[in-house]
Amino acid sequence: MQLPLFADSDAVDPADVPDEMRRLAVRLPAAIHLGTSSWSFPGWTGLVFAPRNGKPATEQVLARHGLPAYAAHPLLGTVSLDRTFYAPLTRDEFAAYAAQVPDAFRFVVKAPAAFTDPVLRKPGSGEAARDNPSFLDAAAAAATFVEPAVTGLGMKAGPLVFQFPPLGRRPVADMPRTIARIAAFMAAIRGRTPAHVTLAVEVRDPELACPAFAAGLRDASATPCLAVHARMPPVAEQAAAFGLDRDDCRLAVVARWNLHAGHRYEEAKQAYFPFDRLVEEDVPSREALARLASRAAARGREVFITINNKAEGSAPCSVAKLAAAIGAASAGDEA
């Protein structure tokens, strides 16, 4: 589906933002990019979007025409394009997104599951149907995902995130082979990707949050993506296992704050809807991300953190809280 540039009558205006939020944005280091997973949520009216004709814009209107208003928010300097996980986009579709945001804005883009899921899944249930013949096909991934994304987004391309779902008992049992296969895949992708584009790998098997996996990715010129998720170890543990908290680390910090601990995705979705306020704050994850981001930015490393509504209840509210925590962590580092 081609994404047309919006007409004036379709425009979604940005919400009025409190002065304190603008001050937070000014204090945020330029290397730190905060944002959310997608943007098409009517519950964000008043937080990110102004009402249209006195009421929230629909999800469909926001999906098509809400990105410029989202990108006008002073704290929202990135967004995760999650729809690409389900199907690749064309170069023109990526370019249409890029045309709607400022020059400093960056997109975090999820690679299609066609290349990172070892099985093909049944529609609806998500159950494994059969082996996936495209799993770890670097040539196909480069041609159908990397090239259109990088060419279409241009300098607005942020990290390309290859998210691997839980891989199953056999791959986890043979960890050296699994690490070698993923590292070889990422090395082949790196050979087809411009050097300025960060390649990141997110996993959902806690066994892969280990130094050996980090070393394999480092050899492939890729970086681990911190998965703040109920399945995975806490932020600080992942960062230490991957070496992302070391003073001599030069890798970008890429983190996706996805799901509150103790919840399943659908359970959190029902509990937190319509995503207009924080319902269940996760202070330990917030503070760990803030410390890591502050230290990394102080050493000249780029930081990309995107947040899902299912993390605490409302991703824009989580971004504001995280920005304040980064400010406090930075002030503490300078003291």
What one-letter code names the amino acid at 174? D
**Assigned token pair, 43:** 């519950």
**Domains of the chain, CATH where assigned:** 8-334 (3.20.20.410)
**Helix 211-219 and helix 175-190, axial crossing angle in degrees, nearest 10:** 30
The per-residue pLDDT for 9 is 63
The per-residue pLDDT for 334 is 60
**Cβ neighbours of residue 111 closer than 8 Å, sequence gap 6 or more:** 84, 85, 141, 145, 160, 161, 162, 163
The per-residue pLDDT for 330 is 84
CA distance 10 to 116: 36
Query: Phi and psi of 7, rounded to 5°?
Result: -85, 160
User: What radius of gyration do the chain's Cα atoms show?
Assistant: 19
Tell me the average confidence (pLDDT) per consecutive run of 10 residues in the chain, 335 residues long.
49 95 95 97 98 92 97 98 93 98 98 93 76 94 97 98 91 90 98 95 96 97 96 96 96 96 92 97 97 97 98 98 95 65
